[in-house]
Chains A and B, each alone.
Chain A
Amino acid sequence: MLSCRDTAKMISDGSMETTGFFGKLFLRLHLMMCSNCRRLLKQIGLIGRLAREQAAAERENTPVPEGMEKRIVDRICGGGKGKG
C-alpha cells in the first residue's frame, strides 16, 4: 500500500505517468481514499496550467524584435556580427 509520502512523490516527479500497471493501480486506490493527495494532484495540475497560461500571456505581450531573424541569417551566413 502506498503512503501519502510515496503518492506525493509519484505525483510530483512524473513517475505516475511512467509507472507500470500495479503502480498505477496502487496510486488510483490511494487517491480514491485520500482527499489530501487528491488535492495535491489537483494543485500540481493547476500549477502546470497556470504556468502555461502565464507564459502564453507574456509571449503575446513580448513580440520577437523586428528584424531579428534577418540579423541572425546575416550573421551566420555572412560571418558578420549581426546584432546592432
Chain B
Amino acid sequence: MNFSDPDFLDRVRKKDPEALTAVVHAYGKQIFRAALGAGLREDEAEEAVQETLTAFVQNIARFEGRSHIRTWLFGILYNKIAESRRKRKKSEAHDSIDDVIESRFDSNGHWIRPPRDVEEIFNDGELRAMIGECLEGLSEKQKNAFVLKEVEGFPTMEICEILDVTGTNLGVLLYRARNGLRECLESKGVERG
C-alpha cells in the first residue's frame, strides 16, 4: 500500500472504510508503542491512539499530502500528549542541566571533571534498567526528542515537524537529554562507589 499515492489519499479524504482500516493497521501499533514510550499508561496510550486517528480523520480535508501520513499522525499524537500535560510543562528557556554540564569545563573549555566510565561499574542489564529511570527525569520535550531520534529512528527534519521545533531547538533538546541521561547514570555510579 502506497500511502503517498494521490488516489489513496483521496480515498482517505472521502473516509473510505477500506483505506482508513489500512491506515489503522499500518500505524495503530506504532502510535500505541510511541505513546507508551512517551510515558502514558496502557489505557491512556490506547485512548491517545484513538484520539489521534479520530483527529486525523476529522481533519483529513486539511491534509495536503506534502508530508508523510506518519509525520502528520505523530504530530497529532505529540500535540495531544503535550496538551494533556501542559500544566506540568517545564520551561525550556533554561535548564539546570546546562549549569551541570558547564561546571565540567574550565574557562578555556577543557574538561575539569571528565566523563566516568559507567560501563565499567554496571553491566548492560543494569544500565538498561537505569536508562528507563533516568528518562523520567528529563523534561517532556527532551524525552520526546530523544525517543524520536534514538528509539523511533526518525530523521531530524521529521522530528522537527512532529515536535514543531527548529533544527537548532532540536539540537538543544538532544544536547540536554543526552547529557542529562549521562549525568544521571554517572550519579548512580558515584552512589555505588
Chain A positions within 8 Å of B, measured between CB atoms, are: 3-6, 8-9, 12-15, 18, 36-37, 39-40, 43-44, 46-48, 50-55, 57-59, 62, 64-65, 68-69, 71-73, 75-77, 82-83
- B109–A3 contact, CB under 8 A? yes
In whole angstroms, what is the CA distance A76 to B181 when docked? 39
- A50–B36 contact, CB under 8 A? no
Chain B positions within 8 Å of A, measured between CB atoms, are: 15, 17, 20-21, 24-25, 28-29, 32-33, 36-37, 42, 46-47, 49-50, 53-54, 57, 101, 105, 108-111, 114-115, 117-119, 124, 127-129, 131-132, 135, 146-147, 149-151, 156, 170-172, 174-175, 178-179, 181-182, 185
- B182–A51 contact, CB under 8 A? no
A44 to chain B, nearest CB (A): 5
In whole angstroms, what is the CA distance A21 to B42 when docked? 46
Q: A-side binding surface: helix, strand, loop or mixed?
A: helix
Q: B-side binding surface: helix, strand, loop or mixed?
A: helix
Contact of A14 among B29, B128, B171, B185 (CB under 8 A): B171
Closest to A77 in B: B17
A46 to chain B, nearest CB (A): 6
Question: Beyond A9-B175, A39-B115, A73-B17, is A47–B182 a contact (Cβ under 8 Å)?
Answer: yes
- Chain B residues with CB under 8 A of A39: 114-115, 117
- B49–A13 contact, CB under 8 A? no
- B110–A3 contact, CB under 8 A? yes
- A68–B110 contact, CB under 8 A? no
- A59–B33 contact, CB under 8 A? yes
- Chain B residues with CB under 8 A of A36: 111, 114-115
